[in-house]
Each structure stands twice: as C-alpha cells, then as structure tokens.
Amino acid sequence: MYKDNEKSAENRKKTFTLLGADMHPYQSDTPGIFGGYRLSKLYGRLDCPSALRAIAKGGYVKHRVFFADEQTAISAGFRPCAVCMSEKYARWKKKKR
C-alpha cells in the first residue's frame, strides 16, 4: 500500500500559476523565475531580501505573482525592484523621466 501511495505521488504533476504579459494567470509545469507584487507592479528575484522580509511579517503573499521570465514581467507593466535589481531599477527610473 505504501508503494502505491509513492507511485501516485510521483505521477501527480505539480503545476504553478504564473502571470502572463496580458495580466492573466495561467498554469505551467515549470515554476516562475521572478516574483512580483501586484499592488505596486514591481518584480524581482525570488530571493529578494525586501520581499522575504515582507513575507516573513505576513504581508505581500496575498498579492504575490510569478513570471516565467523577465520580459513577461516587463510586458505586463511591472518595474524592477529597487532592492534586488538596483541597476535595472536605476535604468528604468532614468528612462521613465
């Protein structure tokens, strides 16, 4: 019986909900490589210290989104995080002026 449970667990494919460039969520077999915060429309690395602090304090999670790649995040209208992507944020800010 234990082996049957192992096999069925192996056969279950994990899916991830990602946000597309059109701002609509979709299911993917691969996890996103960037995380974002929907309310501020910013994206960054999954290991961003600022995002991890917010998550640890109980915030952020409800409005967290994930992207397959950076171009999708940009196309969806999100900007780079000032903390974990400081160089890209500086370029984005300069271009915005």
pLDDT in tens, 25-75: 999 999 999 999 999 999 999 999 999 999 999 878 889 999 999 999 999
- DSSP run (H or E) holding 5: helix 2-11
Cβ contact 62:86 at 8 Å: no
Domains parsed from the chain with CATH numbers: 15-96 (3.40.10)
Mean pLDDT of 72-91: 97
Structure tokens at 90: 């500086």
- C-alpha span between 71 and 73 (Å, rounded): 5
Tell me, yes or no, if the pTM score tops 0.85: no
pLDDT at 7: 54
Q: What is the pLDDT of residue 5?
A: 53
